[in-house]
Amino acid sequence: MTAVPDSLTLGSLRVDTPVVLAPMAGITNAAYRRLCAEQGAGLYVCEMITSRGLVEGDETTKKMLVFDELESVRSVQLYGTDPVYIGKAVEILCADHGVAHVDLNFGCPVPKVTRKGGGGALPWKRGLLGEILEHAVAAAAPYDVPVTMKTRKGLDDDHLTYLDAGRIAQDSGVAAIALHGRTVQQAYSGEADWDAIAALVDHVDIPVLGNGDIWEAADAIRMVERTGAAGVVVGRGCLGRPWLFRDLAAAFHGEDVATLPTLGEVKAMMRRHAELLSEHMGEERGCKEFRKHITWYLKGFPAGGELRHQLALVDSLVSLDELLAGLDDTAPFPERELGTPRGRQGAPRKKVVLPDGWLDDTDGRDAHLREDVDETTGG
């Protein structure tokens, strides 16, 4: 059994708790990152942006590159398929936006991404992957900014890439590699393969971060002990539960904590979340953005259908306060929800959508792919 680390080192960057918030499209904006950071230490990564969008000055991309005033460590996940664009984008992030950490996404399973050879499809092209990583690391080096990458096991069980990706990452000077223990074909279905994470730990000398099926702090500790991972990446487990980062910080420092907030305490967290969104986006847009979080916050709690419906239409902090007043502050946390999946799951894909002839060779350095400017999904 591996000893549990209490911090994470990525090149020149030290993170006080070995926990990373996974970038999630439409979720991990500046307000949500601030909310989570108020709960406990960790590395809180901005929503994924495209290298092409950044280099070409796309307005949507610029709006996503917003940081909270208290965000001392700026971390961004970058998506791209072209080594030159990736290099230019990394330099822009370091030089113009004061970013302290860049993560590259090679894990996204969404068909519109894999169809163009991006996300989780790209590591099949080992040569192209190496070129992209080398350009990114070279661009970040003058600023002493660590580059990491996130990937999946492979396209499917017959086309695994993660061990090769780990070796290429190490050879390219990447500071760490995060592995989601699912294939692209699995998407978010089934169980994460923690044994694959352990295999990658044994295969490389750089830190490996484990991702997949961390619903409680105890899961994170079990993963690290079982796999030898240097830390964990948490995605869906924190939806509607920012306090999970409080539990994770405690767990990695030797405390056994499982926060079970009453509905009154959850209400206070909901109000804080909506308030931060309103500060960053304006009240009307912030409240509309908050709507998607309501189901996650109230999962398992007693709240009538009509009240949930009204909350899903909230457009001001005043109306939110009026509706939250209708919830029972004393209702205990629904413990049956502990350890259960949150967010999207779905079914495995029948097949992974790839560019024509994608599997014909494993190099790809002449592929010259071109991502969409506004690709904003996660992996």
Active site residues: 108
Number of other CB atoms surrounding residue 199 within 10 Å: 17
Which tokens hold the place of 61? 């991309």
Contact of 63 with 93, CB cutoff 8 Å: no
Compute CA 286 distance to the chain's CA centroid, rounded to the nearest angstrom.
Answer: 21
Whole-number Å distance between alpha carbons of 85 and 302: 50
For CA atoms 141, 44, 77, 99, the dihedral sign is negative
Contact of 286 with 274, CB cutoff 8 Å: yes
Task: Give me the helix-helix angle, 283-290 and 263-281, nearest 10°.
Answer: 140
Contact of 175 with 148, CB cutoff 8 Å: yes
Task: Count Cα neighbours of 347 within 13 Å in the Cβ-side half-sphere.
Answer: 3
Whole-number Å distance between alpha carbons of 341 and 188: 10
Quick one: DSSP state of residue 23?
Answer: P
Whole-number Å distance between alpha carbons of 319 and 317: 5
Whole-number Å distance between alpha carbons of 147 and 91: 12
Looking at residue 149, its amino acid is M
Contact of 247 with 241, CB cutoff 8 Å: no
Closest listed residue to residue 200, CA positions, set 136, 132, 148, 152: 152
